[in-house]
Amino acid sequence: MKFAITGGIATGKTLVADMLREQGLLLLDADSLALDYISSSEELRGRISEEFGSESFSPEGRINRGWLASRVFADDSSLARYNAIYQPAWLKYLQNTLDAAEQQGTIGLDAALVAEWEIAPWFDIIILITTAPELRSARLQQSRGLSAEEARRRIDTQLDDRARRQIATEVICNDRSVEDLRREVKRLVRLITGASTRI
């Protein structure tokens, strides 16, 4: 059985994923997997460097995440070019990774872009984490040192929650306290473990 945790940037989906891990569930982190995959591919590194500059990677071949993000999220055209370079091979790799992990039992994926990547059919349960836009902006400014305009631009490059709700089987609003969120996570654990025993 496969499930996904999704939501826009700074909604708290990674916090939910961490809480689920604390409850014994196995989740993969799409961001970390993608960074490792791109950094390990000489072809992708070359194409990204050619498109966005050699500073996109460190001398050791790791993505210079902050520098590259400032270029990729500068406008819609840049983001589209970046996606066209890495997504086809990456999504094939991700699907194979999830399928292999599922052979060992229930597996989850923490991924902001489930809807954008059009991979919702891969999952039995999709949990959407939502947060008010002003809270998301404040979190980005505090955690990543972005200006208000940079935070707004990052949020605006992603789908809004109305589009994500169309693929979600569960929705959690993360506008309240951490204790409220923990109660919701315990409910999710019961849902996920119950579903896995029925499949």
- Give the largest CA-CA distance in the chain: 50
Q: Which residue type does 35 have? A: L
Residue 199 lies in a domain: no
Indicate if 36 and 18 belong to the same structural domain: no
Give the domain-ending residue among 52, 85, 104. 104
- Across the beta sheet with 125-130, what order do the strands follow? 27-29, 107-110, 2-6, 125-130, 170-173
Do 86 and 58 lie in one domain? The reply is yes
pLDDT at 196: 67
Its pTM stands at: 0.88
Q: Residue 191's pLDDT is what?
A: 94
Q: What is the pLDDT along the chain (199 residues), one digit of tens a residue?
A: 999 999 988 888 989 999 999 999 999 999 999 999 999 999 999 999 999 999 999 999 999 998 998 899 888 899 999 999 999 999 999 999 999 999 999 999 999 999 999 999 999 999 999 998 888 888 888 888 888 888 888 888 788 888 899 999 999 999 988 999 999 999 999 999 987 665 5
Q: In the chain, how many domains are there?
A: 2
CA–CA gap between residue 143 and residue 145 (Å, rounded): 6
pLDDT at 75: 86
Q: What distances in angstroms separate CA 137 from CA 60, 131, 142, 144, 164, one per listed residue?
A: 33, 10, 9, 10, 19
189, 164: one domain: yes
User: Helix, strand or coil for residue 171?
Assistant: strand
Boundary residue ending a domain (104, 125, 151):
104
- CATH number of the CATH domain containing 129: 3.40.50.300
Q: What is the per-residue pLDDT for 148?
A: 87
163 to each of 20, 112, 114, 121, how far by Cα in Å? 25, 13, 11, 15
Range of the domain at 133: 1-26+106-194
Is the same domain home to 21 and 114?
Answer: yes
Residues 129 and 190 in one domain: yes
